Structure 1
Amino acid sequence: MDLMLGFLLAMSVTMALIPPLMQAAARWQFLDAPEARKVHTTPVPRVGGIAMAAGTLLALLLSGEFAQPMPAYLAGVLVLLLFGVWDDRVTLSAGPKLIGQVIAVLFIMVWGDVTIGTITLTERHELPVWVSWPLTFVFLIGVTNAINLADGLDGLAGGTTLLSLSALALLAFTSGTPFVGVVAIVIVGAILGFLRYNTHPARVFMGDGGSQILGFSAAVLAVVLTQDELTPLSSALPLLLLGIPIIDTLMVMSQRMLEGRSPLQADRNHIHHRLLGLGFDHHEAVMGIYFLQACLFVTAWYLRYESDVTIIAVFAGLSLLTIGSLQLAMAVKWRLRPVNPKGSDNSSNLGRLVMWLRAPTRLPRWSLVVIGLGVSLYLFAVSVVSPRPSTDVQIMAAVVALSMLGLMVMRWREADSGWMLRGAAFLALVMAVYFDRQTTTLLEERSALQVCLFAALVIAIVIRFRLASDRRFRVTPLDILVIFIAVAVPNLPGSVISAATVGESIAKLVVLMYGVETLFSAAAHWWRLPSLAAFGYLVACSLHSWY
């Protein structure tokens, strides 16, 4: 089955199943009730894992790939799904949950022959069986539980695992390990379908079944990828690929044991709990953890061929830095938003300055001006020196331009532009970025100017998202994930995607589209500026042979 078809099938099935499962959740008693250590305040259906598992299993079964370790992997997923659904229904103790995990891990190790059999120093060295098997068992069980324990905020476990699986897929296709690439891409599709309903405020949770399947899958794929005899990837690379859940688990369990408590006792000492305690809001905590995992993603790419000793040293250093920073912040009682005794956060000169800048007529409005001018300048620069389009493209540009002119005349006094004008503006952006790749524009002749332009656009977009009071378009942590994958992955040196020289174009298009969407979603007729800029660009394309 085509890889894109598998991705779309998993995503579509997941998205289609979640609404009916949510309706049945109360009747089947699949509800996550609020507790003291949880952040949600109303019961939430925890059926997302069932939908993700269904989408993943269907796509993989239709792939027709049944060579090992696929059958063993699918059997392990089914076992974890059954035990996870059971746990989500009646809340099992740690013993039965561990039994299910052990069965799944033994399936993949014994039947699928997936083990950590080598380490990489200056070259690969075989591990004896008495070391290999316990090491594999502990790693697979540990990561399965690490993702499960990290599932504490809306979109957190799904988003961090999506980043890990994206890294695994990229490494797999670069090094020629199709099993890992196919399974990772399919699960990424399922996660994206789930995150559609799990972004804060979440309407559905994945439950223990979903989080254990994600952890098990990421661990298995990491072992298969780094233990393949035909790939030179370092054996310790999974520490970075799955870094944040591992760091989080090691941190909370170490603290529990130092305090004389059971390492399995639940508490509020996870990274996300600490970030909330330091004054981060829900979105900021999730995106902060995404940022940390994204940094590990990039670090893993650059160190993928290094020795295990180097990777372990880097992982240990990053772990100490992360944990130490959190401990220090809590020890000195630092908070992102300091509050004075009267409950106001603007008692300092800096606080008053921030409040002054946040006024609707200042930074929020100034950011819209910067976005509008930046998009207009880019379209103008491309239109001046772009190559002559083909006749059919010129005709299409003329038709769209005339349609935009009529729509702008009809809606000029209205606050909302309508979806047709918005779609036409996006079409103009796609055409501009495409023709930008074909020639050297005025901006590219002055590379510093282009960097400044897009840096200003990004800063203005971020400011608008954070400060605007009239926005109808908001960036969610899911958007941040999509932006990171779309922008960072194609630009990694040596990536199979970067070889197609599309990385810079994708990055430009993502920034421009978010900028235009920001203008169209703002009040007070801001849609006029991108509409006029897009109209001008389309007119220039249609009349290219005349100038």
Structure 2
Amino acid sequence: MMPMFLSDPVLAVFCLLCAAFFAAGLVRVMINLAILDHPGHRSAHQRPIPKGGGVGVMASFFLFFPLVQDITGRSVLRADVILTALATLLLATISWLDDMYQWRPSIKFCAQSAAAIMVVAGGTILGWPTPLPGAFLAVLWLIFITNAINFMDGLNGLISGCLIVGNLIVAATGVFFGVPDLIWPALLLAGCLCGFLPFNFPKARIFLGDVGSQGCGLLAGTAALYMTQHSIKPSGWLLGPALLFPLIFDVLFTLVRRKLAGHSLVQAHRGHIYQVLHRTGMSAVLIAVCEWGFVCWGGIVALLVASFPPLKGACVALPLLVAPQLGWVALAVIRTRSHPVGPW
């Protein structure tokens, strides 16, 4: 039997603080290593800045996750936990090597696909419409969210702040939605990201890099899938997509717009809504804080519709989630008229 003192939540909170400070220490190491991200045509920064801050986030998460799980009475010796950990480790490792050596996109896609398949093989799937198609859709979802978070990681504090807010909301509502197993992992990832955030926001001394954005993206997508399986609320499955909706909308809107304009969908660009707003002169800090607010709004919407039947919940939630995003697009259009940025 586990000693009583190990079950004390105070000890778990102490571990979270240690994880944040350990992540911060590793981020400092990565700054000193100075593996630089040189600005390109789609960059928001003007001078070379170190990348790889995600190494600190991922390493701290992996180090403290088994300890926090043990302290809180959760097992790590489960197929879904083990395969998700191995998948995230695989993707983070390949992403870090890509950060250093700039591999072909096909290698990154293969790593994302392999990681997604590993997560699904552990049993984290969509039960709809049937298990086999649900597993296929789950793989597509994980690949999409991993890339979406990677695409949106282009402005100081935007992605790390959104993920911190989203994880705190998951932790705060875990009992209500019937997913208490996610509370401490969500707090742990938020803590690790908090160790990184001061080095990236409001002024960037280092970036997450693909190692951080893709690793966190896979974890976020997996958590959303887990909620669809285990939530006790009829529309509890909406929590994950609602929290991620600002990122999902921006990516889908940009892809559709570029397709209609005849632009390549695989070519690097700076046409995301947040990038356009920044190019018009809007403060990067203000843009990031607004995106954090959109994540909060997603959490509120998910709470409002949680007890609705699944179809009704989706029908009510979708316009509530889309409305602020359409306002965000309208703001970008208005600002580009007074601050021309060229084709976007």
CA contact (8 A) 1:31 1:43 kept: yes
Q: CA deviation at 1:318?
A: 4.4
- The one-letter code matched in structure 1 to 2:118 is F
Counterpart for residue 124 of structure 2: 114
**Separation in 1, partners of 2:283, 2:200:** 17
CA contact (8 A) 2:228 2:236 kept: yes
- TM-score, normalization by structure 1: 0.56
Distance 1:144 1:155, change over 3 A: same
Q: Aligned ranges for residues 22-61 of structure 1 at < 5 Å?
A: 22-25=31-34, 30-61=35-66
**Separation in 2, partners of 1:174, 1:332:** 40
CA contact (8 A) 1:237 1:311 kept: no
Q: CA deviation at 1:179?
A: 2.6
CA contact (8 A) 1:156 1:286 kept: yes
- The one-letter code matched in structure 2 to 1:61 is P
CA contact (8 A) 2:234 2:310 kept: no
- The one-letter code matched in structure 1 to 2:55 is I
Alignment partner for residue 109 of structure 2, among 80, 83, 98? 98
Counterpart for residue 148 of structure 2: 146
**Separation in 1, partners of 2:311, 2:177:** 21
CA contact (8 A) 2:234 2:307 kept: yes
Q: CA deviation at 1:289?
A: 1.5
Q: CA deviation at 1:238?
A: 2.1
Counterpart for residue 70 of structure 1: 81
Counterpart for residue 301 of structure 1: 303
- The one-letter code matched in structure 2 to 1:253 is L
Alignment partner for residue 190 of structure 1, among 189, 192, 200? 192
**Separation in 2, partners of 1:332, 1:85:** 38
**Separation in 2, partners of 1:332, 1:18:** 38
Distance 1:311 1:44, change over 3 A: farther
- The one-letter code matched in structure 1 to 2:170 is L
Counterpart for residue 377 of structure 1: none
**Separation in 1, partners of 2:231, 2:237:** 11
CA contact (8 A) 1:34 1:40 kept: yes
CA contact (8 A) 1:155 1:286 kept: yes
Q: CA deviation at 1:262?
A: 3.0
Q: CA deviation at 1:261?
A: 2.7
* Larger relative contact order (Cα-Cα within 8 Å, sequence gap ≥ 6): 2
CA contact (8 A) 1:162 1:191 kept: yes
Q: CA deviation at 1:157?
A: 0.6
Matched length: 324
Q: Deviations over 1:132-158 (max 9, x none)?
A: 112211111111111111101101110
Q: Give me the identity figure in percent.
A: 26
Does residue 135 of structure 1 match 2:137? yes
CA contact (8 A) 1:168 1:221 kept: no
Does residue 12 of structure 1 match 2:39? no
CA contact (8 A) 1:251 1:323 kept: no
CA contact (8 A) 2:49 2:207 kept: yes
SS class of match (1:202): coil
Unaligned runs of 5+ in 2: 1-5, 340-344
- The one-letter code matched in structure 1 to 2:111 is G
**Separation in 2, partners of 1:315, 1:256:** 26
Counterpart for residue 244 of structure 1: 246
Q: Aligned ranges for residues 86-485 of structure 1 at < 5 Å?
A: 86-110=97-121, 112-118=122-128, 127-228=129-230, 232-318=234-320, 320-332=322-334
**Separation in 2, partners of 1:159, 1:236:** 21
CA contact (8 A) 2:273 2:332 kept: no
CA contact (8 A) 2:156 2:203 kept: yes
**Separation in 2, partners of 1:258, 1:130:** 33
Q: CA deviation at 1:330?
A: 4.7
Larger radius of gyration: 1
Counterpart for residue 82 of structure 1: 93
**Separation in 1, partners of 2:83, 2:232:** 21
Q: CA deviation at 1:319?
A: 5.5
Distance 1:315 1:141, change over 3 A: farther
Distance 1:279 1:41, change over 3 A: closer
Q: Deviations over 1:146-176 (max 9, x none)?
A: 1111101101110111111112222223344
Does residue 3 of structure 1 match 2:12? yes
Q: CA deviation at 1:19?
A: 1.3
CA contact (8 A) 1:233 1:305 kept: yes
Counterpart for residue 3 of structure 2: none
Distance 1:176 1:321, change over 3 A: closer
Distance 1:311 1:81, change over 3 A: same
- The one-letter code matched in structure 1 to 2:95 is G
RMSD over aligned CA atoms reads 2.2
**Separation in 2, partners of 1:96, 1:73:** 20
Counterpart for residue 369 of structure 1: none
CA contact (8 A) 1:239 1:315 kept: no
CA contact (8 A) 1:168 1:222 kept: no
CA contact (8 A) 1:52 1:190 kept: yes
Distance 1:299 1:32, change over 3 A: same
**Separation in 1, partners of 2:37, 2:52:** 10
**Separation in 1, partners of 2:331, 2:170:** 33
SS class of match (2:236): coil
SS class of match (1:221): helix
CA contact (8 A) 1:17 1:51 kept: yes
SS class of match (2:111): helix
Q: CA deviation at 1:229?
A: 6.4
